[in-house]
Structure 1
């Protein structure tokens, strides 16, 4: 096979609109593995949100979590992880704590922390269905893999620019959903996560195929030997993709795998 490794995003890509893995995707992944292929996920989710899918998929190689901030091996646990710089963490918490339009969700390995529940949190809580811990003060959290800002993303972007100007710093932030804007450690991205994964597996990047749907997948697609977008992807991501597969709720990953197994990667768009 031309591509030995397939790395796919979860939400909006491998998962359908009900956050389930379509059966056609499961069957295609199994067929790919039987041919000697390797399969894993690259997601903005942390351990708590990703582990149910890691188990469902029976992954046997590391998953890329926290948008590239962690490599998590199903057997060995964390083999690479990085945290937000403490000063930046405190600045972000202080700045958004009293903003009624933006909710704060702090992720640390398998923990998810929320302090004050705002209306902006409703979407995250209802859609992700992740169990979270309530804390009185988020600044009591010693370390964090990322801060998720939930709600008005346009406003969050404006406020991050204000913080950068005020403190003379550059903040690594990325949009991962219509309502999600993520603050990540310096130099963290799914693309960098893929590099670390391929180095760990001793597989050339050119032999990796990556699939995604949102802005945080752009670096992933640019880094892989073959970058693929699902049909429901954001337009900027589609422009970076060499191949556009079917929608997430139409078994887009399965359709792609069938193309790889059959060796029919031309043309690069659905007819």
Structure 2
């Protein structure tokens, strides 16, 4: 048997567990709750803020013994709302450095703290407003938005890819850069070493997780990459980037075709996986 026992199930939300209407499919919900009731620890890992994850935590009936990683690894909580860890946020100085390397024309900047988001049309207004707001930010997002051109994912992708390719090596060496395609296309910049895997690893270091080899991870996007690079058992959704799928242990159907549920059931039937308590 390839896997002796999976005790921890870690799931990205948007584009993985959630369908395009932002719902958890009923079959997936039932199988996750069943695993939870048998003793499997559930970890939700998302770019969302914790308060945006609350609905799904309640639907899956997750409590004190289960975990939520928010803002792509900045914050880690118990699912009852107890904050466990805070990663290194971006400072005002970080945002100033990053902003100066990105052209402002047709670009929307999007910064996040632990509990709110702020949008800015231009670098100047971004820096100005930061003087009057909390200095630390979790994530710096860059979107392409041109009011003269209808929203088009291919246009957005070309524009953001061009910006990404023009970023100096010093930015890439000092920060974590992801190109995220779920819900549009954007470039996401976090402090170096901050990502979902670093949060999972911290849970392991502090004994909330016994072994990373007992963890199964589902994801679909570039901000899941570090998990796919470092975890043994990963499942990529069918619409994930091709290079991410090559890193995966297995692939499954996309979120609109109940990929999480189908992958779990298939591994059961193929005797490829044994979940704790089963």
Residues 202 and 147 of structure 1: CA distance in aligned 2, closer, same or farther (over 3 Å): same
CA deviation vs aligned residue, 1:120-139 (integer Å, no higher than 9, x gap): xxxxxxxxxxxxxx997245
Matched, 1:252 2:245: no
Aligned-residue offset at 1:144:
0.6
Q: What secondary structure, in the 3-state scheme, does the structure 1 residue paired with 2:23 have?
A: coil
User: Contact conserved, 1:48 with 1:111, CA < 8 A, in 2?
Assistant: no
User: Could you tell me which of 53, 58, 80 is aligned with 1:50?
Assistant: 53
- 1:72 equivalent in structure 2: 77
Cα deviations across residues 3-60 of structure 1 (Å, max 9, x unaligned)?
Answer: 1111011111101111111111101101111222111211122224333323333322
The answer (yes or no) to whether the contact 1:114–1:138 under 8 Å persists in 2 is no
- Other-structure match for 2:176: 172
TM-score under structure 1 normalisation? 0.81
Structure with higher helix content:
1
Give yes or no for contact 2:42–2:67 (8 Å, CA) kept in 1: no
1:257 Cα deviation (Å)?
2.4
Contact 1:194 1:223 in 2 (8 A): no
Note the residue ranges of structure 2 that are not aligned, 5 or more in a row.
Answer: 145-158, 274-278
Tell whether 2:215 aligns with 1:215.
Answer: no
Alignment TM-score, normalising by the size of structure 2: 0.79
1:260 shift after superposition: 4.9
CA-atom RMSD, angstroms? 2.7
Query: C-alpha separation between the residues in 1 aligned to 2:31 and 2:127?
Result: 42
Unaligned runs of 5+ in 1: 118-133, 267-271
SS of aligned partner of 2:16 = helix
Distance 2:251 2:62 in 1: 25
Instruction: Give the CA deviation at 1:203.
Output: 1.9
Is it true that 1:102 corresponds to 2:107 in the alignment? yes
Q: Are the structure 2 counterparts of residues 9 and 183 from structure 1 closer, same or farther at C-alpha, using a change threshold of 3 Å?
A: same
Q: Contact (CA 8 Å) 2:5, 2:214: kept in 1 or not?
A: yes
Q: How does 1:78-93 map to 2 (within 5 A)?
A: 78-82=83-87, 83-93=89-99
